[in-house]
Amino acid sequence: MDTDDHDITVSVNGVRYKRRVESRMLLSDFLRHDLALAGTHVGCEHGVCGACTVLLDGQPVRSCLMLAVQAETHEISTIEGLTDKDGAYHPLQQAMHDHHGLQCGYCTPGILMTMTAFLEENLSPSEDEVREALSGNLCRCTGYQNIVDAVMAAAQRMRG
């Protein structure tokens, strides 16, 4: 198959990257292997498991279902940008640690990106709403209970 290359500029976690990519390069591969931002994990490459979720202009998207060229001029946020400049946890990271919301940790970056975006929109969620929002992210280790508790606790803390 013939391929064609494109020059793109993408902003990730506030840093602008200029790269030449093949048109077929997945955004997930671009982030992980071209930009060495390997915290975004790939679980299924067909948009079901949610592990590769990143934020595109603040909205959660599956980076395995997007091409890198589609991210041109957009702002991407990944797990590497979730702590503050001093490395302090986002309240949800802290709550995940406090509530044992992760085991193997492979699905965790996707869950953090999905649920931090969710909390931006709903700081007073019910448990059912949290479960609904979380249902697009598969976790095979935790049974979700501690993740749900972590999200509820983070919401409470963020409400102040």
Partner 1 sequence: MSTRTFGEPIKRNEDRRLLTGQALFIDDVELPGLLHVAFLRSQVAHAKIRKIDVSKARQRPGVVAAYVAEDLGDYWKPGPLLVPPPPIAGIVFNQRTQVPLARDKVRHVGEPLAIIIAESRYIAEDALDDIDVELEQLPAVVDLERGLRAGSALVHDDVGSNVSAHVRQTKGNYAAAAAKADCIIKRRFRYEHGISSPIETRGVVAQWDARANQMTIWDTTQAPVFVRNGLAAMLGLNERNVRVIAPFVGGGFGPKIMMFYPEEVLLPWVSMKLNRPVKWIEDRLEHFFATTHERGQIHDAEIALSRDGKILGIKDVFLHDGGAYDPYGLTVPINSQCTLLGPYVVPNYDSTFTQVFTNLTLVTPYRGAGRQHGVFVMERLLDFAAHELKIDRAEIRRRNLIPADAFPYKNEIIYQDFQPLEYDSGNYEPVLDMALEAIGYKTFKEQQAAARAQGRHLGLGLACYVEGTGIGPYEGAKVQVQSNGKVSIATGIGTQGQGHFTVFAQIAADQLGVAVTDIDVVTGDTDQFYWGAGTFASRGAVVAGNAVNEASKVVRKKALKLASDLFECSEEDLVLEDGKVSIVGIPEKFVRLGDLANQANPMRGAVQPGTEPGLESTQYFGPPMGATANGVHAMVIEVDPRTFDLKVLKYVVVHDCGTVINPMILAGQIHGGVAQGIGNAFYEKLAFDDQGQLLNASLADYLLPTALEVPRMELGHTVTPSPLNPMGIKGAGEAGAIPVGPMFAQAIEDALDLKERGVELLEIPLSPSRVFELTRKSGQ
Which residues are at the interface with partner 1 (CB under 8 A)?
1, 22, 24-25, 32-33, 36-46, 48-49, 51, 78-80, 82-83, 87, 89, 93, 96-98, 100, 102-109, 112, 130-132, 134-148
CB of 19 to partner 1, least distance (A): 15
Q: Is residue 64 packed enough to be buried (19+ CB in 10 Å), middle (13-18) or exposed (0-12)?
A: buried
- 98 three-class SS: helix
Residues forming a β-bridge with 56? 59, 76
CB of 55 to partner 1, least distance (A): 14
Q: Which is nearer to partner 1, 73 or 155 (CB)?
A: 155
CB of 8 to partner 1, least distance (A): 17
**Dist. CA 112–CA 92, nearest whole Å:** 7
Q: Which is nearer to partner 1, 7 or 132 (CB)?
A: 132
CB of 7 to partner 1, least distance (A): 19
Q: Which is nearer to partner 1, 73 or 110 (CB)?
A: 110
Q: Which is nearer to partner 1, 71 or 139 (CB)?
A: 139
50-to-7, 17, 28, 64, 97 alpha-carbon distances in Å: 28, 25, 12, 9, 20
Q: Which is nearer to partner 1, 73 or 103 (CB)?
A: 103
Q: Which two tokens stand for residue 52?
A: 């590769």
**Dist. CA 89–CA 79, nearest whole Å:** 11
Strand 75-77 and strand 5-12: the pairing is parallel
CB of 1 to partner 1, least distance (A): 6
